[in-house]
């Protein structure tokens, strides 16, 4: 039988064998501890079972990407098989949301959006951005009232969510337009010159992503940022 303590010991063993870099191992431990504390504080009677199930999958997927790094294309489509990354993240974040006190305002607007999308029109949502979990939170809160938007929204993403080994498994289940080194769809070039020798490569990648965005806008895409 697997126990919560086994998750930490598993990380330690992978680090000792050299398959897991120490910095990544330390971040995985931090992720586990933060998630465990948050789920237990929620008061869910099945907290231990939830943490064990979700974290064992999360750590396994992170380790897999360290061993076999996944490369995102300028436009990434959600991966649902052979492993369903979409449902993995939905199930992972779900226990962290207090649904009793959370709500979506102006639900009727989302109903109108879904009607427009079914007609082949485009809907672009521009919003403020709080955490890396925002796409999943949006998806979960719209899961029952606007399932089409919940599952098929395309999110604009920067470097971190498609390069950080801890973030990548959580991004692979989303539809993503990847822009390197920037925020707010080319309005603010925040990280373009963080590594000067990579700046030109980032510009070329962003040009490809802009072309992908133009194509998507011709085919009833939803762009959410």
Per-residue confidence (pLDDT) for residue 118, from 0 to 100? 83
Q: What total number of domains does the chain contain?
A: 2
**57 vs 219, more confident:** 57
Please check whether residues 113 and 28 belong to one and the same domain: no
Query: Domain holding 54: CATH number?
Result: 1.10.1200.50
In a domain, 82, yes or no: no
In a domain, 94, yes or no: no
H or E element that contains 204: helix 199-217
Q: pLDDT for 5-39, tens place per residue? A: 888 898 999 999 999 999 999 999 999 999 999 99
Name residue 175's beta-bridge partners. 154
Please check whether residues 53 and 112 belong to one and the same domain: no
Per-residue confidence (pLDDT) for residue 194, from 0 to 100? 55
- Could you check whether the bond before residue 82 is cis, i.e. omega within 30 degrees of 0? yes
Angle subtended at Cα 156 by Cα 154 and Cα 159, rounded to the nearest 5 degrees = 135
Domain of 209 in residue numbering reads as 107-224
Per-residue confidence (pLDDT) for residue 46, from 0 to 100? 94
Q: pLDDT for 61-107, tens place per residue? A: 999 999 999 999 888 999 999 999 999 999 999 999 999 999 898 89
Query: Domain holding 198: CATH number?
Result: 3.40.1130.10
DSSP E strand boundaries for the chain:
75-76, 123-125, 154-157, 175-178, 222-224
- What is the phi/psi pair of residue 174, to 5°? -115, 155
pLDDT(139) > 70:
yes
The rounded percent of the chain whose pLDDT value lies above 70 is 78
Please check whether residues 24 and 112 belong to one and the same domain: no
């Amino acid at each position: 039988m697997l126990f919560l303590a086994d998750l930490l010991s598993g990380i330690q063993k992978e680090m000792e064998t050299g398959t897991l870099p120490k910095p990544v191992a330390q971040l995985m431990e931090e992720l586990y501890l933060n998630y465990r504390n948050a789920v237990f504080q929620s008061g869910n009677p099945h907290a231990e079972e939830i943490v064990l199930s979700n974290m064992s999958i999360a750590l396994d997927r992170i380790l897999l990407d360290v061993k076999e790094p996944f490369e995102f294309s300028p436009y990434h489509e959600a991966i649902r098989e052979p492993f369903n990354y979409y449902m993995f993240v939905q199930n992972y974040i779900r226990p962290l949301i207090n649904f009793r006190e959370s709500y979506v305002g102006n639900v009727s607007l989302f109903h109108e959006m879904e009607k427009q999308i079914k007609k082949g029109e485009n809907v672009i949502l521009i919003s403020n951005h709080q955490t890396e979990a925002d796409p999943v939170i949006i998806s979960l809160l719209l899961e029952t009232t606007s399932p089409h938007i919940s599952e098929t929204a395309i999110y604009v993403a920067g470097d971190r969510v498609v390069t950080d080994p801890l973030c990548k498994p959580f991004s692979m289940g989303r539809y993503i337009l990847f822009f390197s080194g920037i925020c707010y769809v080319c309005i603010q070039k925040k990280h373009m010159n963080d590594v000067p020798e990579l700046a030109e490569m980032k510009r070329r990648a962003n040009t490809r992503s802009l072309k992908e965005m133009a194509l998507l806008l011709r085919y009833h895409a939803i762009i959410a940022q």
